[in-house]
A and B are shown apart, each in its own frame.
Chain A
Amino acid sequence: MNNATSSWLPSTRREFLRTTTRGIGLLAFSRFAPSFLVESTLAATPAPEKDRTILVLVQLAGGNDGLNTVVPFADDGYRRLRPTLALPERDILRLNDTMGLHPACAELHALFQEGQLAVVQNVGYPNPNRSHFRSTEIWETASDSGEFLPTGWLGRFMDNACAGAPADGAPPAVHITRENPQSFLSAQEHATFGLNPDTQGRRGGESLRLLERMMQADAADPHENAGFLQHTMMNALVTERKVQQVLRGYKAGAPYPETAFAHSLQSVAALIAAGMSTRVYFVSLSGFDTHSNQLRQHANLLRTLSGGLAAFQQDLRAHGLDRQVTTMTFSEFGRRPGENESQGTDHGTAAPLFVLGSRVQGGLHGTAPSLQLERQQDLTFSTDFRQVYASLLDRWLECPAAAVLGRDYSALPLIG
């Protein structure tokens, strides 16, 4: 663990000094070199702040069916609304006398029993929007239903300097998704970093090495576009090279399932284990838009989710990092309580979400949804998603939540 931590910085420096063709030192082009390179040559390796808390967001894209994830099996309404989709009671993994997890969530169930999994029930917001795009935007910008915010909630977290000035110049936030998540959009510029899940581990070959050599001098004025581009690109190249190196050299402390999702989580574990001062990670699992023949598809997705999260948690524990990391899932909406005629479910409203970690106050939070509904009716949320954000901002990331969310939300006791 210590080795991994201390290798993060100096190896970058060695790498640059080694590849510099004309033997010029790092400082010769340091004006716009990434700050963590420069600092590591000027001073001793800055100690990464080990006790910094880290939040990992897991997006369940498409709208996860909450009622078949955290199942109110004792409620008569459940079977009435879901004649073909209701899960057999005997298979449900009990959380208490009335609620239980989908049978594909065995690993999450074990974590629940160990007190490391918080299940926040029936989370949503007033006047729910049923468009994927718009509702995702609402969750990611933490806006009201009718309000349009230009920045994401994690972007505002960074804007408020809550992330702290990264001691090693590492990106304050990293996403392993094809696109920059809206959650990261910010008013100020932050050097967030994205790792394309499609090209993880692919090498750029000769032209990349050549490009790196060509980039090593002649820093232009960053106020001009040429300098800005050079600066941005140098940062991106260095970070990318570092990240690839960390990922290649990582020895996971637990076996991960063979899924792209688990692979993304393993990458997150590798970067955390490398001592990077990044506070926020964002990964995504998609395919939850289950309009038809949902049973099998949904079971596979939850198996992927449960297996991936459990391996991640076990890995963190093996590296002694589990007390530093909390993971939270979210989805743009839940699905309609009444199933449709294609053995699927249509876009709905509130749904449960998971908060996972060694310092999480495990158990069921909030109240279960009422199922006294007609077939086309939707759930009415009982916990606002921004209460969950507020809890994690205040109690986990130690950032005044009102500064990020614009007002006070009553926090939940999610962190022990």
Chain B
Amino acid sequence: MNFAASSAQAWEPLAASEWNRDAARHLLRRVGWTARLEEVERACDEGIDATLERCFPSEPAPLPKTEMIARFEADLPDLLGKIRTARGPAMREARREMRERAQAALQDFRLKWLQRAAEPAQAAFAKWTLFLSDVYVVSAEKVRSPDLLWRHHEILARHALGPAPVLTKAVSRSPAMVRYLDLDRSVAEAPNENFARELFELFVLGEGHYAEADIKEAARAFTGYRVQAATGEFRLVRQRQDAGRKTIFGRTGRFSGDDVIDLAYAQPAAATFLPGELARFYLSDRPLPAEMLPALGERWREQRFELRALALTFFRSRAFFAPENRGNFIKSPVQFYLGALQDLELEVIPLTRFTLNPLRQMGQQLFQPPNVRGWVGGRSWINSTTFAARRNLVQQLFAPLREETLNADDVRALAEARKAGRERFTVGDDWFERWSDQPADETVGGLAQRFLAAPLPPHASQVLVDFLERRTAGTARRDAVAALLQLPEYQLC
């Protein structure tokens, strides 16, 4: 199907006759982390509309604030007070305590995010907020306060499926964003252009759809945005604000920051920019043909820039299900990790060494993209080092946990998780029993269909069948699945 030829129809819903198991697998892998057997069956039974309703509920349940963030917030005035009043070694000690508390709360937040996202019912919404955080980037590299990173994430989740301009306005008041893009240093006499530039270039319009003069004028409208140190609350300082007349996109008035955002969304490029980012994040690392986006953009503008409406149109569309967009997208490290957990019916182990460290080695530190553009994605995820890290992760999931080597904190964290009912952290031998009576070729076919979005090359399939036929040891199936998950094909979704 050459969907590009009829770009208007590209965004029409998939024909009912084309909704089948393969289509359901494709949807589940792209909208979440992977396609588990029971989820595929359920999607087929319920149909595409009901499936998407579940992925994008009208009232999603965001991740609750973590205990450690809450405690950090409560202790913050105290911690800050110590740093302010102490002198000499005591001050260094106070700073060190602050740094350590902040780092610990951030690591815990990352773990909690992963644990939540790993639940199949939460996968789609978690991925959607990850997408938004890849547009509205803030980084823990610069914003060290875990409470502000939390608030930013909470803002993205709260407005994730509402109107985009409302989200953008909320983000402009996100304390983490105010810090990250230096709004807190912007005063009427010397407006800082960082935020205004990224607002146009990376959040709403894209490069080439604004003039330098628009940025300069817009920057004036965002002066006086501040963060209260002790509470982490956003506040507007009127004395710092430039209340004068500004000319932006050819219109003149005493515009506020919110006015500027409305003006930006009135530009034609606003209708196609985010849909383009959406396609880049979910569909293909090659840009869509230029003539396709306007049709999607027009619909979205008519839908008053509702993000949920955009998601429903996009994931239901013929373009999304086109054969050239299936099984050829390189998984992000987060998707690789969480997808593998779901495929193997495992849970996130509450130890950073086995979760956040491998993610970092694969090139993705949560809440810490490399720069303001976010993660590039696609082939940039892959090089010999990150490939080795992906393989190490798989091996780790298949190796029994050597608990005698863990330190006391780890042991405690594991015990707590087990008390809460989480205990499947590595693949046990019992997991392979389901295939024990099957002929080798059926097993291989089943495994490939279950785990791979791309076809298993015939040669590889034959090697695997031979291996299973020759090897009867109990570990043969374990080795086979471990090898399968290290294949290039398993990197694709």
- Docked pose: A214 CA to B467 CA in angstroms: 10
Q: Does any Cβ of A come within 8 Å of B355's Cβ?
A: no
- Which of A192, A225, A341 has most B Cβ within 10 Å? A225
- The residue in chain B whose Cβ has the minimal distance to the Cβ of A206 is B479
- The residue in chain B whose Cβ has the minimal distance to the Cβ of A180 is B385
Pairs A–B under 8 Å by Cβ, sample size 27:
A133-B141, A180-B383, A193-B384, A193-B385, A196-B389, A207-B395, A207-B482, A210-B463, A210-B464, A210-B467, A213-B467, A214-B459, A215-B488, A217-B459, A217-B460, A226-B454, A226-B489, A229-B330, A229-B489, A229-B492, A232-B382, A232-B384, A233-B387, A233-B488, A236-B388, A240-B384, A292-B92
- With A225-B492, A232-B384: A342-B92 Cβ-Cβ less than 8 Å: yes
Q: Does any Cβ of A come within 8 Å of B328's Cβ?
A: yes
**Residues on A with beta carbons closer than 8 Å to the beta carbon of B330:** 225, 229
- With A210-B480, A232-B384, A235-B384: A225-B459 Cβ-Cβ less than 8 Å: no
The answer on a CB contact under 8 Å between A206 and B475 is yes
Q: Residues of A with Cβ closer than 8 Å to B?
A: 21-22, 133, 171, 175, 178-180, 191-194, 196, 199, 204-208, 210-211, 213-218, 220, 224-226, 228-230, 232-233, 235-236, 239-240, 291-292, 340-342
- Our pick among A194, A207, A218, A341 for the contact of B388 (Cβ within 8 Å) is A194
Interface readout for B347-378 with A: 1 if CB under 8 Å, 0 if not?
A: 00000000000001100000000000000001
- The residue in chain A whose Cβ has the minimal distance to the Cβ of B389 is A196
**Residues on B with beta carbons closer than 8 Å to the beta carbon of A229:** 330, 382, 488-489, 491-492
The answer on a CB contact under 8 Å between A341 and B460 is no
Q: Does any Cβ of A come within 8 Å of B240's Cβ?
A: no
- Docked pose: A240 CA to B491 CA in angstroms: 19
Q: How far is the CB of B470 from chain A (nearest CB, A)?
A: 11
Can you name 14 extra interface pairs (CB under 8 A) apart from A196-B388, A211-B486, A218-B459? Answer: A194-B388, A207-B395, A218-B457, A225-B328, A225-B378, A225-B379, A226-B492, A232-B488, A233-B488, A235-B384, A236-B388, A240-B388, A340-B92, A341-B89
**Residues on A with beta carbons closer than 8 Å to the beta carbon of B467:** 210, 213
**Residues on B with beta carbons closer than 8 Å to the beta carbon of A220:** 457
**Residues on B with beta carbons closer than 8 Å to the beta carbon of A192:** 383-384
**Residues on B with beta carbons closer than 8 Å to the beta carbon of A216:** 459
- Docked pose: A220 CA to B459 CA in angstroms: 12
Interface readout for B375-413 with A: 1 if CB under 8 Å, 0 if not?
A: 000110011111111011001001000000000000000
Q: Does any Cβ of A come within 8 Å of B237's Cβ?
A: no
- Our pick among A133, A194, A207 for the contact of B385 (Cβ within 8 Å) is A194
The answer on a CB contact under 8 Å between B88 and A228 is no
**Residues on B with beta carbons closer than 8 Å to the beta carbon of A232:** 382-384, 387, 488
**Residues on A with beta carbons closer than 8 Å to the beta carbon of B457:** 217-218, 220
Pairs A-B, 6 closest by C-beta atoms = A229-B488, A194-B385, A218-B457, A217-B459, A236-B384, A214-B460
- Our pick among A191, A214, A225, A342 for the contact of B285 (Cβ within 8 Å) is A225
**Residues on B with beta carbons closer than 8 Å to the beta carbon of A230:** 488
The answer on a CB contact under 8 Å between A204 and B89 is no
**Residues on B with beta carbons closer than 8 Å to the beta carbon of A236:** 384, 387-388
Q: Residues of B with Cβ closer than 8 Å to A?
A: 88-89, 92, 141, 285, 328-330, 360-361, 378-379, 382-389, 391-392, 395, 398, 454, 457-460, 463-464, 466-467, 475, 479-480, 482-483, 486-489, 491-492
**Residues on A with beta carbons closer than 8 Å to the beta carbon of B392:** 196, 199
- With A225-B328, A225-B379: A204-B384 Cβ-Cβ less than 8 Å: no
**Residues on A with beta carbons closer than 8 Å to the beta carbon of B487:** 211, 214-215
- The residue in chain A whose Cβ has the minimal distance to the Cβ of B459 is A217
Q: How far is the CB of A346 from chain B (nearest CB, A)?
A: 9
- Docked pose: A292 CA to B379 CA in angstroms: 43
- Docked pose: A224 CA to B328 CA in angstroms: 8
Q: How far is the CB of B315 from chain A (nearest CB, A)?
A: 21
- Docked pose: A179 CA to B457 CA in angstroms: 31
- The residue in chain B whose Cβ has the minimal distance to the Cβ of A133 is B141
- Docked pose: A210 CA to B360 CA in angstroms: 27
Q: How far is the CB of B426 from chain A (nearest CB, A)?
A: 14
**Residues on B with beta carbons closer than 8 Å to the beta carbon of A171:** 384
**Residues on B with beta carbons closer than 8 Å to the beta carbon of A291:** 92
**Residues on A with beta carbons closer than 8 Å to the beta carbon of B382:** 228-229, 232
**Residues on A with beta carbons closer than 8 Å to the beta carbon of B466:** 21
Q: How far is the CB of A366 from chain B (nearest CB, A)?
A: 32
**Residues on A with beta carbons closer than 8 Å to the beta carbon of B486:** 207-208, 211
- The residue in chain A whose Cβ has the minimal distance to the Cβ of B485 is A207
The answer on a CB contact under 8 Å between A218 and B384 is no
**Residues on B with beta carbons closer than 8 Å to the beta carbon of A178:** 361
- The residue in chain B whose Cβ has the minimal distance to the Cβ of A226 is B454
- With A180-B383, A207-B395: A214-B464 Cβ-Cβ less than 8 Å: yes
Q: How far is the CB of B326 from chain A (nearest CB, A)?
A: 12
**Residues on A with beta carbons closer than 8 Å to the beta carbon of B88:** 341
The answer on a CB contact under 8 Å between A179 and B361 is yes
- Docked pose: A236 CA to B392 CA in angstroms: 13
- Docked pose: A206 CA to B330 CA in angstroms: 26
- The residue in chain A whose Cβ has the minimal distance to the Cβ of B478 is A207
The answer on a CB contact under 8 Å between B92 and A207 is no
The answer on a CB contact under 8 Å between A214 and B463 is yes
**Residues on A with beta carbons closer than 8 Å to the beta carbon of B384:** 171, 191-194, 232, 235-236, 239-240
- Which of A180, A192, A229, A341 has most B Cβ within 10 Å? A229
- The residue in chain B whose Cβ has the minimal distance to the Cβ of A292 is B92
Q: How far is the CB of A140 from chain B (nearest CB, A)?
A: 14
- Docked pose: A218 CA to B458 CA in angstroms: 8
Q: How far is the CB of A276 from chain B (nearest CB, A)?
A: 14
- The residue in chain A whose Cβ has the minimal distance to the Cβ of B399 is A205
**Residues on B with beta carbons closer than 8 Å to the beta carbon of A207:** 395, 398, 479-480, 482-483, 486
**Residues on B with beta carbons closer than 8 Å to the beta carbon of A194:** 384-385, 388
